Structure 1
Amino acid sequence: MALLLKVPSIVCTGCGDTITKAIQTVESDASIKVDIAAKTVTVEAKASEESIKQAVVATGHTIEGE
């Protein structure tokens, strides 16, 4: 399942690293691409969309449309 999340609170590579680590706690072998300029996170994972979103929100970031 490919999931594209718009995360307007991403401002630096540190934000991307934090989000990546949080998603990897949900699914360690998830494929995660963070685009800082576009403020998007693309996740290829077997975990549910809801659990991925919860991991991102738990880092203090917001997901547009939520």
Structure 2
Amino acid sequence: MTLQLKVPTLNSSDAARDLKETILVSEPQAKVDVNLDQQLVTIETGASEETIKQIISAAGHQIG
């Protein structure tokens, strides 16, 4: 399943890198792409949308 989520709290390349790493720790098989300019995170994963949202929120980000 491919998810595309708007994450308006992504405001730096460090934040984008940290979020990608956090997702990959929990979902190592996922493919994660972070578009900092558009504040979009695209994740190809077998995990549920709710699981991915929880990971993003636990990392201190908002989903909009």
Range of TM-score over shorter length: over 0.9
- Alignment root-mean-square deviation, CA: 0.8
- Contact 1:2–1:44, Cα closer than 8 Å, also in 2: yes
CA distance in 1 between counterparts of 2:52 and 2:18 reads: 13
Deviation at 1:26, TM superposition (A): 2.2
What are structure 2's unaligned runs of at least 5 residues? none
Partner of 2:44: 44
- Percent identity at matched positions? 38
1:26 paired with 2:26, answer: yes
Partner of 2:60: 60
Q: Please list the CA deviations of residues 37-61 of structure 1 after superposition, one character each: whole Å capped at 9, or x if unmatched.
A: 0000000000111111100011111
- TM-score, with length taken from structure 1: 0.90
Partner of 1:2: 2
Structure 1's consecutive aligned runs of 4 or more residues displaced over 2 angstroms after TM superposition are none
What are structure 1's unaligned runs of at least 5 residues? none
What is the aligned length?
Answer: 64
Give SS of 1:37's match.
Answer: coil
- TM-score, with length taken from structure 2: 0.93
